[in-house]
Structure formats: C-alpha cells, structure tokens
Amino acid sequence: MRDDILIKIILLVEKRMGKYQMPIVRETALEKDLGISGDDAVEFLMDFSKEFNVDMSNFDIKKYFFPEGDSILPAIVRLFTGKRQRKQKELRLGDLEKAVIAGRLDEEIINS
C-alpha cells in the first residue's frame, strides 16, 4: 500500500512541477532535489493537502522552504560573514507519504 501512496505523490509532483531527469524516491527532498521552493512550495503543498486530505494546520513551512526570491540576501550574508544561511530541515517525499497515512503533516509525523 505504501508504494501506491508514493507513486500517487510522485504523479502529483510531475503533474504540478513537470517531469524530472532524476529518479524520484522516498529520500528525494522537495526543495534541495526538486527545486520546489517559495510560492511553488506553498501551492504544491496546498494541492497535496487537498488531493490526499492531509491536515496541514500545524505545519510550519518556514522551517522547510526558503521564501520566494530569497537568493540575494543569503549571498550577501555569505559574502560578509562567510556563513551560509540555512533553513532548518528538508521535507522529503517519504515525509509526505507518512503524512498521507496519518492524515496530517506536522513535526511529529516528519520525525517519526
């Protein structure tokens, strides 16, 4: 059953974002690997929530995705401090799969 859920999630990714040249698996990160960020991430997760009836009311998107257009500020920070600005976590397709099974997406589901 889990493979069926993952396949449906992958189909949603491809429908929403297009086909990718790389294999998409449970460990695939939405932002790092697929380039889904900012407004695209918000819209994708809204579609995901509706498609799979997943409650996302306790999901803090800022922990997983940089805001739209947030590429200049991190470059400036790196230039003057030598430090990279990083979001806290990566959201992976396997996390979305667990969310479908649980009916909700939040820290507890992601960390389980």
The domain ranges of the chain are 2-110
Among 52, 50, 13, residue whose Cα is nearest residue 33: 13
Q: Where does the pLDDT of residue 25 fall: very low under 50, low under 70, confident under 90, or very high at 90 and above? A: very high
Its pTM stands at 0.81
Q: What is the pLDDT of residue 38?
A: 85
102 pLDDT band, cuts 50/70/90, is very high
- Is 2-110 a domain of CATH 1.10.1200? yes
Specify which residues 104 forms β-bridges with: 55
CB 47 within 8 A of CB 17: no
Q: Please state the rounded mean pLDDT for residues 82-99.
A: 79
Rounded CA-CA distance 48/69 in Å is 23
Token output for 35? 């380039």
